[in-house]
Amino acid sequence: MKRRCGNNLITFVGDDNFLIDLDRAEELRQCVVESGEMFSIFLFGSADRVVQFGAERLAEMGVELIWIGRESELSDYPKNRNVNFKEVVADLRKYGIKTILSSILLLEEHTQENIMEDIEAHLACAPVFSQFSHYSPVPGTPLFERLEKESRILHSIPLEEWHAFKQPWFVHPHFNLVEAEKIQETAYRRDFLELGPSYLRWAAAELEGWRTMKGSNKPHLRRRSANIAARMWKYKVLLKAVEHLAPTEHIRLMARTLLDEMGKDFGPPNPLQRCAAQGLHVSGRIRELRTALWGDAIQPPTKLVTYNQ
């Protein structure tokens, strides 16, 4: 596929838990290592299987990004029992593997008090990306059927708005629709303001992965670290621009600290990289002006194609 398509990116989108079959995962790891090829793989994996397979083997396989369903501290999914998510995310980051951590808001057990504790527990894991989606009763599921019997499904909300973001389409015992929307917005806002922009977190994970793997006794991991090193100039440009564009002093300090850490191993930004950062700075200010005048919505044009007329 790499030779045919000219791309080393592989995404297992249709597989909700690629690691459910650990033998298959190990077979892929062996194939990748034996081929000598470097891949960038995005997959979904449950936390228990990530722990069983191990971050180092995932790195050998070529996993760049992994989606993990944390769900909630109040849920009792077998896949998450006795799993320390903070340790799982940190172990993956040690090998440069970035995590999309997904949590559910508006479970039946959520109240005005404990939902914020649940959000804080998610943020404490410090993932590179976060998803906070509303509990979603989908037609055909036991949850939907139960809520339908309880007359809690809001059929007045159009079907196209049943997407787990902004507002739910069912009656929650502790949150009205406006409160639910604000809770979700608060979660995402805190994620950004407290953990920083995702590309900053991505760069931090890359640096940590490089430091872990550069001295590995496994050639494949050393090659992976070399690939990371080749990307460091881009991160120095981005971080230098963030110093000027950061919306808060906290984020500015995060960018500056990470840039200093990078400088210990890769040197400070050179004049060319500083010029590129200035270009990004100008582009960012133009974008801010556009947002202030016209908003930040990016809506592609609608296309209507009619068949079999």
Provide the residue ranges of all domains of the chain, joining segments of one domain with +.
Answer: 2-195, 199-290
- Cα 156-165-238 angle, rounded to 5 deg: 155
pLDDT score at 180: 96
Say yes or no to pLDDT of 76 above 80.
yes
Say yes or no to pLDDT of 136 above 90.
yes
Q: What average pLDDT does the segment 134-163 reach? A: 95
Say yes or no to pLDDT of 67 above 80.
yes
pLDDT score at 1: 66
Say yes or no to pLDDT of 77 above 70.
yes
CA distances from 144 to 1, 105, 138, 151, 199 (A): 41, 16, 6, 10, 37
Contact yes or no for 203/239 (Cβ under 8 A): yes
Q: How confident is the model at residue 212 (pLDDT cuts 50, 70, 90)?
A: very high
Say yes or no to pLDDT of 88 above 70.
yes
Contact yes or no for 93/211 (Cβ under 8 A): no
Say yes or no to pLDDT of 5 above 80.
no
Say yes or no to pLDDT of 230 above 70.
yes
Q: What average pLDDT does the segment 280-305 reach? A: 90
pLDDT score at 257: 98
Q: How confident is the model at residue 11 (pLDDT cuts 50, 70, 90)?
A: confident
Please count the helices (runs of H) and the strands (runs of E) in the chain.
12, 5
Say yes or no to pLDDT of 205 above 70.
yes
Q: How confident is the model at residue 300 (pLDDT cuts 50, 70, 90)?
A: confident
pLDDT score at 307: 84
Q: What average pLDDT does the segment 258-286 reach? A: 97
Q: E strands, the chain, where?
A: 9-11, 40-44, 63-71, 98-105, 129-134
170: helix, strand or coil: strand
Instruction: Name the packing angle between helices 219-245 and 249-266 (round to 10°).
Output: 140
The set of residues, in sequence order, having a beta carbon less than 8 Å from that of 162 and lying 6+ positions away, is 136, 138, 169
The set of residues, in sequence order, having a beta carbon less than 8 Å from that of 295 and lying 6+ positions away, is none
CATH placement of domain 2-195: 3.80.30
Say yes or no to pLDDT of 186 above 70.
yes
Say yes or no to pLDDT of 127 above 80.
yes
Average pLDDT over the chain, rounded to an integer: 94
pTM summary value: 0.90
pLDDT score at 71: 96
Say yes or no to pLDDT of 95 above 80.
yes
